[in-house]
Amino acid sequence: MSSNSTSSSESRLLSSVEILKRKRLNGGTGRDLEDERHSKSRSPTFSPESKTKNRNNLDNMSESALSNEHRVVNSELKVVKEEVNDSKQEEITRKQDYRIARSKLKRKEYESEMLEERLNRIKAEKANIQLEKRVENLENQMKVKENRITKVTQDHANLLKEKTTFEEQNAKRIATLENDHKKKLDLIKVDHATQIAQKDKIIQDRDKTINNLQKTKSSFENANHSYKEALVACESTIRVALKIKSP
């Protein structure tokens, strides 16, 4: 029983010393080496069951076994104390690393915010430039349209002037034509009236002539009738005279 305890204590001592040497040779107090130590040489004295079992074992150990166990536990205590110091140093280092990392994180966050702000300003500037280009393009289009509107308005005004001038000239022409037509119509009316008056006078003269001729005819007819009667009377007188002369 004592030989088993001695060999177990020696194995734990060798394991702890070996891990400590490896950790020091690697130049750090990393969590991996600590986990390795706990996984390979986890001492049973750290649990309540192991403490009770160790007490029972200590009661049953001889003096030599107790000496060996004392030596093993003393070695483990030194190793654990060194590990405690290393853990404290590691904690200090980790706190310093945390502060450095925290400061670096804040600096990086600040740099990120500054870069994001710069990126947003660049985006805003690009958008502003594009907007200014669009505004300039729209202004140019508006100028072109305004020039076209001005030209169309001027052309419309010129057409209105031409229309007004044409209407005035047309009104003058119409008034002149109407005046000329009226004058010609008046002349034609006067001429027609003169011709009608002349024709009426001719007709009246002809009517008078016809009346005179009819009167002359009637006179001639009356005279002819008188001549015929006188001729008949003469013929009768001549016959009477001839009868008287004959025997």
CA distance 11 to 17: 10
Range with the poorest average pLDDT among 5-19, 161-175, 185-199 = 5-19
pTM listed for this prediction = 0.35
Are the C-beta atoms of 30 and 87 separated by less than 8 Å? no
Instruction: Mention every residue, 6+ apart, whose C-beta is less than 8 A from residue 45.
Output: 51, 54, 73
Are the C-beta atoms of 83 and 20 separated by less than 8 Å? yes
CA distance 195 to 91: 147
CB atoms within 10 A of CB 124: 11
Q: Is residue 71 part of a domain?
A: yes
Q: Is residue 44 part of a domain?
A: yes
Range with the largest mean pLDDT of 13-27, 97-111, 205-219, 228-242: 97-111
Q: Is residue 24 part of a domain?
A: yes
Q: Is residue 115 part of a domain?
A: no
In the chain, the amino acid numbered 102 is R
Question: What mean pLDDT do residues 124-141 have?
Answer: 93
**Cα 162 from chain centroid (whole Å):** 40
Q: Is residue 37 part of a domain?
A: yes
Look at residues 15, 31, 1, 26 and name the one whose alpha carbon lies nearest to residue 76.
15
CA distance 48 to 43: 12
Q: Is residue 30 part of a domain?
A: yes
Q: Is residue 36 part of a domain?
A: yes
CA distance 76 to 14: 9
Range with the poorest average pLDDT among 49-53, 158-162, 188-192 = 49-53
Chain position carrying tokens 């853990």: 87
Are the C-beta atoms of 51 and 45 separated by less than 8 Å? yes
Q: What's the half-sphere exposure (Cβ side, CA atoms, 13 Å) at 217?
A: 6
Give residue 89's domain range. 2-108
Query: Tokens at residue 85, please?
Result: 């110091």
Q: What is the pLDDT of residues 41-93, one digit of tens each?
A: 444 444 555 555 555 555 666 777 888 888 888 999 999 999 999 989 989 99
Query: Tokens at residue 207, please?
Result: 């009517």
Q: Is residue 9 part of a domain?
A: yes
Total domain count, the chain = 1
pLDDT at 210: 87
CA distance 240 to 197: 62
